[in-house]
Structure 1
Amino acid sequence: MSRRLLILVNDAGFFLSHRLPLARAAVAAGWEVAVATRPDERSPEIAAAGLAFHPVPIRRFGLKPAGELRTALAVAALCRRLRPDLLHCVTLKAAVPGLLAARLAGVPAAVLAITGSGRTYSDGGLVWRLLQRAIPRYLSLLAGPRTRLLVQNPEDGRALAPRGALAERTVLIRGSGVDLAAFAATPEPPEPMTVLLASRLIAKKGIAVYVEAARRARSERPDLRFLLAGAPDPGNPDAVPEATLRGWHEAGTVEWLGRRDDMARLMADCHVVCLPSQYGEGVPKCLIEGAAAGRALVATDVAGCREVCRDGETGLLVPPGDAGALAAAFLKLAAEPDLRRRLGARARAVAEAEFDVASVNRRTLELYDSLLD
């Protein structure tokens, strides 16, 4: 009899871009896989991928007690009906209600996959500081012997499980992996140097800093190109307004491409992949894809980014929020193409050694097995 896996995630698009390969690997390994998330315009793609889809009332943003309890009760009811052997909660937003649901429904095992601490651990407001103290205690209190905290970088492990039993049940697997065949290393395209930022278009990703850095760099090197890929996200309170994106594009500072699904082609057509995030990431998918494509990386020195963008080895790290330092990094790589290519070659080697999606999926399935043996 096959084992049953329920994946809880707060956004269908994130599941499709980051965890669909894991779900397919689980099916190939004999698991019955179902996915629970909020219904939206992309959720039908889950069923189209051959997976059972179950709508639940989970919000994309924010952590509010009443809302989390409502989600937990709905997920617990779903668990009682589906009787999963393991509940895999993807993102902190899913882990908070999901862990309570697992306990209420008697799910034998749970994996709490943290894909970056994000705003919760970067905002200095009073409410966020309270959450930073409360969440580790909450997770530790509810975690059972077959609960595992799955983190993508050591900083998240220390923040969410600083001590106690859950600290001993923390597992590190860096990122969601990259398809090394799809993102094959190719020679750089002809000059001029082209930089790509592909990301959710929210302020905390450093979008405005990137645009300002592009403006400064182009004031010295007008031939440089700066691409910005991503769709507007009006439902996100941190979203960059579409009018602002269009203004940047029309001014010629950056080329806004909108949503793109051909990331491998985009990276093959650029020289540098950038993510100037201003908060803690897990391990950003755009950076590991850039590394797999053999491109030099430029990123901010924050949790997650430095797991793959290693200063002087695979790319250049700059302080978060520093447009001047970011522009200087771009100009350095434009002036030193041999350095840029060396960084890109090493980035590919690191991707092959540490971020292969097949390896990430295998290790995750081994974690599942260890909890149910």
Structure 2
Amino acid sequence: MKILYSHRIQSRDGQGVHLDALVAALRQAGHEVRLVGPPSYEAASLGGESRGIARLRRLLPRWAAELAELAYSVPAYLRLRRAAREFGPDAIYERYNLFFLSGAVLARRLGLPFLVEVNAPLAEERGRFGGLALPGLARWSERFVWRRATRVLPVTEVLAGHVAAAGVPRARIAVIPNGIELEEFPDPLPAPGGDPLVLGFVGFVRDWHGLDGVVRGIAAWQGPPALSLLVVGEGPARPGLEALARELGVADRVRFTGLAQREDVPGHVAGFDIALQPAAVPYASPLKVFEYMAAGRAIVAPDQPNLREVLADGRTALLFDPAAPGALWAAIGRLAADAGLRARLGAAARAEVLARDLTWAGNARRVVALLEGDAR
């Protein structure tokens, strides 16, 4: 099968991991995939952003920047159309982005199946966190793309509800969560189990992740055993967390790796005793959770619907009530005191990945099965 993959990703972050992994899995399964996206993506470094785009956002008023995003659909459409003429695809697959209409228009014009992968309700998300000058236009562009898709592929059932509320029939919605590359996580090593025990976190570090509470908890922890924190990643919250650790006298037990290359992440996670997801947006399918599961680590995460889609409290993780003060630390304390429980949860989490095929290869098979089913 020949798949034209359309995207508007500018930087090598979690989005890029998802894109690269799925494309690699499709190709490994014998399908031809042609990527069409911003030229800057190929040259982007890990964690980098197009300087031109960042400068444009700083200089333009918000409403003008949003119109520029929409206008970008025109040159993107021309690139996509040219690629379609050269490649002769059987389908167009697109990673959804706000104000990005190119794939929907071209797929309709060429009569091709059009699959849209959705990782967030961006009109709602940007309106809530980043601000939108043109919210009506944003909502219209979102509905335009989702409703014209042959299939919409949200990463969680929670997100599927957002898609259905936008007017997409449930029969055209297929949930495909994120996954992992199993070869990157061979049979997991036993957790270190040393003193201090290592609490670990992987990802871009933002204030809402709640790592400040983890640092405070380490300072207040009486033990035994002693606890430390390893953060595999970078982000705007790092300076504040390092300052807090110094203030509380635990700077020697809070460590940041900085930006980590993808190939280095499994080795870092292998050094965790307890893997943390202190907070999560309500519709996400966090990549780190699948990495923790594949590595066979004991996981602590919020008890919320999107995470319950992949984690079961007491079986593959300890889930805590995010609204209950002290609940996160009660879960951490329980695991810190019980090496057997850590081992059982980690083994069950790894088994869940295998049983449900929560891998990029599995996702590639699901995507192709949908395309083949629609073709019939």
Q: Same fold (TM over 0.5)?
A: yes
Cα deviations by residue, 1:69-99 (Å, 9 ceiling, x for unpaired): 1232232121122127433332x5x2x3334
- Give secondary structure in 2 for the equivalent of 1:186: coil
Does residue 266 in structure 1 map to residue 265 in structure 2?
A: no
Asked whether the equivalents of residues 118 and 281 of structure 1 are also in contact (C-alpha less than 8 Å), the reply is: no
Residue type of the alignment partner of 1:34: L
Distance 1:126 1:36 in 2: 24
Q: TM-score with structure 1 length normalisation?
A: 0.79
For residues 203 and 80 of structure 1, what CA distance do their matches in structure 2 show? 41
Structure 1 contact 37–57 (Cα < 8 Å) conserved: no
**Cα 1:30–1:125 shift into 2, 3 Å:** closer
Contact 1:143 1:166 in 2 (8 A): no
1:207 to 2:211 alignment:
yes
Match of 2:93 among 69, 72, 88: 88
Question: 2:275 and 2:304 mapped to 1: Cα distance?
Answer: 16
The reply on whether 1:114 has 2:115 as its aligned counterpart is no
Change (3 A) 1:111 1:342: same
TM-score (norm 2): 0.79
- Is 1:194 the equivalent of 2:198? yes
Question: Against the structure 1 CA distance between its residues 264 and 183, is the aligned structure 2 distance closer, same or farther, given a 3 Å change threshold?
Answer: farther
Take 1:366 and 1:231, find their aligned partners in 2: how far apart are those partners? 37
- Counterpart check, 1:148 vs 2:147: no
Are residue 229 (structure 1) and residue 215 (structure 2) matched? no
Once the two structures are TM-superposed, the CA of residue 230 in structure 1 deviates from its matched residue by 0.5
Q: Secondary structure at the match of 2:165?
A: coil
1:314 aligns with 2:316: yes
Query: Corresponding residue for 1:185?
Result: 188
CA distance in 2, matches of 1:264, 1:353: 20
Cα displacement string for residues 204-252 of structure 1 (whole angstroms, at most 9, x for unaligned residues): 3333333333333x344471121111023xxxxxx32x53244256533
Residue of structure 1 in register with 2:49 after alignment = none
After superposition, the C-alpha distances for 1:114-135 in whole angstroms (9 at most, x for unaligned) are 224479459757967x95x986
CA distance in 1, matches of 2:120, 2:313: 20
Partners of 2:374 and 2:73 lie apart in 1 by 22
Per-residue CA deviations over 1:9-61 (Å, capped at 9, x if unaligned) read: 4244135422323212333423142141462685379xxxxxxxxxx969999
Give the 3-state SS of the residue equivalent to 1:291 in structure 2: helix
Question: Aligned letter for 1:344?
Answer: G
Between the aligned partners of 2:180 and 2:307, the Cα distance in structure 1 is: 14
Task: List gaps (5 residues or longer) in structure 2.
Answer: 47-51
Is the contact between residue 158 and residue 283 of structure 2 (CA under 8 Å) also seen in structure 1?
Answer: no
Number of residue pairs aligned between Structure 1 and Structure 2: 351
The structure with more radius of gyration:
2
Unaligned runs of 5+ in 1: 46-55, 233-238
Judged with a 3 Å threshold, the aligned counterparts in structure 2 of structure 1 residues 35 and 281 are, in CA distance, closer, same or farther, namely farther
Give yes or no for contact 2:313–2:319 (8 Å, CA) kept in 1.
Answer: yes
- The CA RMSD over aligned residues, in Å, is 3.7
98, 102, 105: which one aligns with 1:103 = 105
Identity of aligned residues (%): 23
Counting only pairs closer than 5 Å after superposition, residues 25-104 of structure 1 correspond to structure 2 as 25-28=25-28, 29-37=30-38, 39=40, 43=44, 65-83=66-84, 85=89, 86-90=91-95, 92=96, 94=97, 96-103=98-105
